[in-house]
Structure 1
Amino acid sequence: MRRRFVTLDVFTKTRFAGNPLAVVLESDGLEKADMQAIAREFNLAETVFVMTPADQRNRAMLRIFTPAAELPFAGHPTVGTAVLLGCMSGYNLGAHELVLEETVGPVRCTVEAIGREHGRASFVLPRLPERTGESVTVQEAAAALSLKDDEIGFGVPSRWSAGVPVHFVPVRDLDAIGRASPAASFESVFGREGRAVVYLYCGATTEPGHHFHARMFAPGLGIREDPATGAAAAAFAGVVMETAHPVDGEHRFVIEQGYEMGRPSQIELGMTIEGGALTRATIGGGAIIVSDGHIEA
């Protein structure tokens, strides 16, 4: 069967930057094995399959695949698909809301199509971040990332999830984070309790006005390095709460990622703090259509 697909670059306003995404439309009838094979064929960090929603009040059901596995939730597929559906609905609607059904649950999005081919979207985290599993030691993290112990800086590694469990490793500076690379022990150290997904971050940034610089490695998922990782940024809200202790009110952080890959990305993390607790968080950014075609599947 001939099915339409669209590719977008997400968490950017510029083509050939950000994180590439493939979206296969009209995917009803595809089996899981078919979707996994198509995701391997596209060989992007994630491929989204758009289906008829279970609840007709919602805009669509999404299935999200890396080249190696299905994910219950992911940020750049959510933002990119929301922008695409917004553009398909018409760019004269202004900012409006839609709900996408993902394995993690319903995801409420706000989308604005700025033109026929680009726009912005944000979504409310369907699940607030929580600590999960055991952290690795500084020494284990350094060795598994080809760094020295003293290059793991301003904090200790931790593991959080807002739908996808992620190891968070603070790194001393931009020089160290730029040299980081998965070593032979990467999977054995970070993969003890599931897939090894590792998010490195530091407080120094490449561009002014940004708040964190990040890199993400998940070779076991078929992602050697990811240009922008919304699910990790979602869970990162828990790290920010624990380390920065933001005061009550609304906060916005810009996370830059993908710079080492030549695909600069900017992820916007919004946090609402009430009574010293995180009560709401959002992930947002831009996306732009790159290609449009058909696949036989």
Structure 2
Amino acid sequence: MPAYDVLRVFCAPNGGYGNELGVVRDGSALPGRAERQALAGKLGFSETVFVDDPERGIVDIYTPTLRLPFAGHPCVGAAWLLDVPELRTPAGVVGARQDGEFCWIEARAEWAPPRTLRRYATAAEVDDLAVPPPGEWIYAWAWEDEPAGRVRARAFPGRDDGIEEDEATGAAALLLTDRLGRALNITQGAGSQILTAPQPGGWVEIGGRVYLER
């Protein structure tokens, strides 16, 4: 098995929570898609990133069962780890920047895979949701404080791969930000934090804290 790092992306202010991400820095160790898919399935993270060129930021992203042209928390984590100004994904070039404790990326809503954005009346309703059966990918959300842009959210991938709930999902936050047209401060899962901000020309910035787990 090739060496890989484990990051936590979109951590809370106290450094807790965040969504785990596997990063194989030497993508040449597993050049084939089938090999990469098999390793992503074995590791079992919601996403695993293979770095094909660390200087140019060329990355390849996999869930345990499929390859993704773009995904939010893998891009934030990879940008932080590689410390590059941009990442090159199959979907397009993702801008990246470091700003104090936050790492930010810039992407487009049309790059994100389809998600069902399901609004609830209160944050308590979102907290009380049971994991739905496999099927559609659901991003459940409610306003905690609408004037302040604070959102409570949970993400249910609906896949039959053992991942019932994603702790923090940048692509879904990107879609919600694009739909609402405003900056958001999202608390997702058990306590992860995702920040977003619309930008000119249909771009959206997504930011969060990243920690090296091992």
Instruction: Sort the TM-score into its range (normalised by shorter chain).
Output: 0.7 to 0.9
Quickly say closer, same or farther: Cα 1:40–1:14, change in 2 above 3 A. farther
Alignment of 1:18-37 (within 5 A): 18-28=18-28, 29-37=30-38
Q: 1:210, 1:258 → 2: CA distance?
A: 17
- Per-residue deviation at 1:74? 0.7
In structure 2, the partner of 1:66 is 63
Q: Is the 8 A contact 2:44 2:64 kept in 1?
A: yes
Residue by residue over 1:169-212, the C-alpha shift from the partner in whole angstroms, topping out at 9 and shown as x without a partner, is: 0012123212223445x52xxxxxxxx2110100026xxx6610
In the alignment, does 2:59 pair up with 1:120?
A: no
The aligned length equals 209
Q: CA deviation at 1:81?
A: 0.9
Query: What letter matches 1:9 in structure 2?
Result: R
TM-score (norm 2): 0.87
- What TM-score results when the alignment is normalised by the length of structure 1? 0.64
Matches within 5 A, 1:1-297: 3-12=2-11, 14=14, 16-28=16-28, 29-52=30-53, 59-86=56-83, 98-111=85-98, 119-125=101-107, 127=108, 129=109, 161-184=110-133, 187=135, 196-204=136-144, 211-220=150-159, 222=161, 223-241=163-181, 252-259=183-190, 264-272=191-199, 279-291=202-214
- RMSD after superposition: 2.2
CA–CA distance in structure 2, aligned partners of residues 24 and 52 of structure 1 = 11
Evaluate the alpha carbon distance shift between residue 24 and residue 7 of structure 1 in structure 2; reply closer, same or farther with a 3 A threshold: same
Deviation at 1:111, TM superposition (A): 2.4
Q: 1:218 to 1:106 in 2, by over 3 A?
A: same
Residue 14 to residue 24, structure 1, CA distance change in 2 (3 Å):
farther
Match of 1:136 in 2: none
What secondary structure is seen at the aligned counterpart in 2 of 1:235? helix
TM-superposed CA distance for 1:33, in Å, is: 1.0
Deviates more, 1:278-287 or 1:74-83: 278-287
Provide closer, same or farther for how the CA distance between residues 279 and 105 of structure 1 changes in structure 2, counting only shifts above 3 A.
closer
Offset at 1:221? Answer: 6.1
Report the equivalent of 1:153: none
Contact 2:91-2:111 within 8 A present in 1 as well: no
Render the CA deviation track for 1:262-283: whole Å, top value 9, x for unaligned.
Answer: xx1110111136xxxx643211
Which blocks of at least 5 consecutive residues in structure 2 are unaligned? none
> What is the letter of the counterpart of residue 265 of structure 1?
S
Identity %: 29
Distance in 2 (CA, whole Å) between partners of 1:178 and 1:75 is 23
